[in-house]
Structure 1
Amino acid sequence: MKRQYYISDDLNDLKVMQNELEDKGLSTPQLHVLSENDAEVEKHHLHAIESVLKKDVVRSTEMGAVVGAVAAALVLILAYSMQWHLTAAGWIPFGFLAAAILGFCTWEGGLIGIQRPNYQFKQFQKLLNQGKHVFFVDATEQQMEIVEQVASQHPNLKLAGNGESPPEWVVKSQDKFNDFMKVMP
């Protein structure tokens, strides 16, 4: 899948574009609006970015977990190489210490990520502060032609580039989940 970013200052135009794309087969999890004015985005019934995804929590937590895993492995390697595991307590205290280090580093990574904007959206921060909105579409190669055709019919929309897109299976699972939730009473 590919992600294309578009800039606009007109939420009504974005709503029209979202409806046109949905009418042509794209699903709601493929369409997102990033804005500083979440209340207006919600009022226009646009698919807004969740607050947690505006921050770099996920990526920073993953990085913290990697650092924690390395540190935990070092604790276990040190215990083995110094033969501390041969004491009466055995591996238990070192296992607990390794788990605590892994947990702490993961948690700390998340806390750092809460304070930073999402690395994918940093490039748009100035525009967002000016009151503009970023509309982005995650589409397959076949759907990208549809996206470009619909976008060309909106003169106030400006192409702002490409970015990382989630895997297609993630979008399809979101579609399935949404379909399931519609069926539930």
Structure 2
Amino acid sequence: MQRHFFLSDNLDELQAVEDELRAAGITPPQMHVLSEDDAAVERRQLHPVEAVLRKNVVRGTERGALIGLLCAGGVLTVCWATGIAHGVAWVPVIFLAVVLLGFCTWEGGLIGIQEKHAEFRRFDEALADGRHLLLVDVDASDEQAMLRVVAQHGALEPAGVGNATPAMVVRLQDRWARFLQLAP
């Protein structure tokens, strides 16, 4: 899947685009709107970018986990090489390694929550100027339908492409939404 970015000055137009994309077979989990005016996005029932995805939490957590793995591996290696673990036992050493891994992962997530998502930083100026960003995740079979809909809206400004949510995640979100509609 590939993510397409479009900038617009008008949320009403984005609402019309979302409706047309939905009619063309693109599901709500494939469309998101990023805006500084969250209340207006909510009023129009547009699909906002989730709060956790606006921040660099995932990348920060991944970095922290990697650093934690290195620290845990270092502790285990040092204890094995020096023979400390043989005198004390391996349980406290392994516990220390697990605690280091958990702490570094947690700390990485906390650092990441303070940063804007790396993919959205390039749009900071446009968002600060009151513009809105439409994100559409499409696979090859949906791309032509998306391009036809977007071509009908001349005020939409193409703003590039990027990495999309994995197709499996989008399909699971679709199934979950259907389940919630059918559940009692």
Class of the TM-score when normalised by the shorter of the 2 chains? over 0.9
Q: Name 1:67's counterpart in structure 2.
A: 67
Q: Provide the aligned C-alpha RMSD in A.
A: 0.8
Q: Name 2:143's counterpart in structure 1.
A: 144
Q: Name 2:51's counterpart in structure 1.
A: 51
Aligned-partner Cα distance in 1 for 2:13–2:20: 11
Letter in 2 for 1:128: L
Q: Name 2:126's counterpart in structure 1.
A: 127
Letter in 2 for 1:94: V
Q: Name 1:76's counterpart in structure 2.
A: 76
Aligned-partner Cα distance in 2 for 1:163–1:24: 22
Aligned-partner Cα distance in 1 for 2:142–2:53: 24
* C-alpha contact (below 8 Å) 2:7/2:132 kept by paired residues: yes
Aligned-partner Cα distance in 1 for 2:177–2:70: 38
1:3 aligns with 2:3: yes
* C-alpha contact (below 8 Å) 2:24/2:146 kept by paired residues: no
1:106 aligns with 2:108: no
Q: Name 1:31's counterpart in structure 2.
A: 31
Letter in 1 for 2:137: D
Q: Secondary structure at the match of 2:49?
A: coil
CA offset at residue 160 of structure 1? 0.2
TM-score under structure 1 length normalisation? 0.97
Q: Name 2:86's counterpart in structure 1.
A: 86
Q: Secondary structure at the match of 1:47?
A: coil
TM-score under structure 2 length normalisation? 0.98
CA offset at residue 50 of structure 1? 1.1
Aligned-partner Cα distance in 1 for 2:175–2:148: 27
Deviations 1:141-184, CA, capped at 9 Å, x for gaps: 11111111100100110000000112111111110111111111
Aligned-partner Cα distance in 2 for 1:158–1:21: 16
Displaced runs of 4 or more, over 6 A? none
Percentage identity across aligned positions? 42
Aligned residues: 184
Aligned-partner Cα distance in 2 for 1:181–1:168: 20
Unmatched runs of 5 consecutive residues or more in structure 2: none
Aligned-partner Cα distance in 2 for 1:52–1:59: 11
Aligned-partner Cα distance in 2 for 1:4–1:130: 21
Aligned-partner Cα distance in 2 for 1:122–1:94: 41
